[in-house]
């Protein structure tokens, strides 16, 4: 049985993960409007991963006899000044999510909730990857800033990313 504090915190994290999906989908929409389909595809794949993260939390709550309570999802921004600014915002957002996951791990430890602590290790590892992935693109965008034609090469490279989200249970 999941404790009420952990249950509430996991419900809040479901909302944060769904907001992440909305944020990346908003970024994909702007990239589509800019005719940068590779960047848009990268962000769409990221949005799909965030939905998988939300569902992992959802399933954990359900499996432990808790109750999922969905909350309103805040609207994300819809405009950014440049691809670099979008990826810098994505990186900053991932750092916020990392802190939230670390806080959840601390709560699981405080509540002596071993199943939650064990479950959260996957998210801790995932956040290392998430931050690195966004930072890698920020660094590439910095390098191509003075050569706008290179943006299209980077767009083609980012378009190669396929969603690495694990299949949902039962698939």
DSSP state of 75: P
3-state secondary structure of 170: coil
pLDDT, tens digit, 9 for 90 and up, residues 38-78:
999 999 999 999 999 999 999 999 999 999 999 999 999 99
**Residue reference for tokens 């990313």:** 161
CA 100 from centroid of its chain's CA atoms:
12
Nearest alpha-carbon partner for 23 in 69, 78, 62: 78
Q: What is the structure's pLDDT at 161? A: 81
The per-residue pLDDT for 73 is: 98
pLDDT band at 162 (very low <50, low <70, confident <90, very high): low
For the ranges 74-88, 125-139, 153-167, the lowest mean pLDDT is seen at 153-167
| Per-residue confidence (pLDDT) for residue 163, from 0 to 100 | 56
pLDDT for position 170 = 45
Instruction: Provide the whole-model pTM.
Output: 0.92
80: left (phi over 0), alpha (psi -120 to 50) or beta: beta
pLDDT of 171 over the 80 cut: no
pLDDT at 165 (0 to 100): 52
The two tokens of residue 9 are 């915190």
Whole-number Å distance between alpha carbons of 164 and 69: 27
pLDDT per residue as tens digits for the range 129-144:
999 999 999 999 999 9
Per-residue pLDDT, averaged over 3-31, amounts to 98
CATH of domain 4-158: 1.20.1260.10
């Amino acid at each position: 049985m999941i404790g009420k504090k952990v249950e509430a915190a996991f419900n809040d994290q479901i909302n944060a993960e769904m907001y992440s999906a909305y944020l990346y989908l908003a970024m994909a929409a702007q990239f589509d409007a800019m005719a940068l389909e590779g960047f848009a595809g990268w962000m769409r794949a990221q949005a799909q991963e965030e939905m998988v993260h939300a569902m992992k939390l959802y399933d954990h709550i359900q499996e432990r006899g808790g109750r999922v309570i969905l909350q309103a999802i805040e609207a994300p921004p819809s405009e950014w000044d440049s691809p670099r600014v979008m990826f810098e915002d994505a990186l900053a957002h991932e750092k916020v999510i990392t802190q939230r996951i670390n806080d959840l791990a601390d709560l699981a430890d405080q509540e002596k909730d071993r199943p939650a602590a064990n479950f959260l290790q996957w998210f801790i590892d995932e956040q290392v990857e998430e931050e690195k992935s966004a930072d890698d693109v920020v660094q590439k965008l910095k390098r191509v800033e003075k050569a706008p034609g290179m943006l299209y090469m980077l767009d083609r490279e980012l378009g190669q990313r396929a969603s690495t989200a694990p299949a949902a249970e039962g698939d």
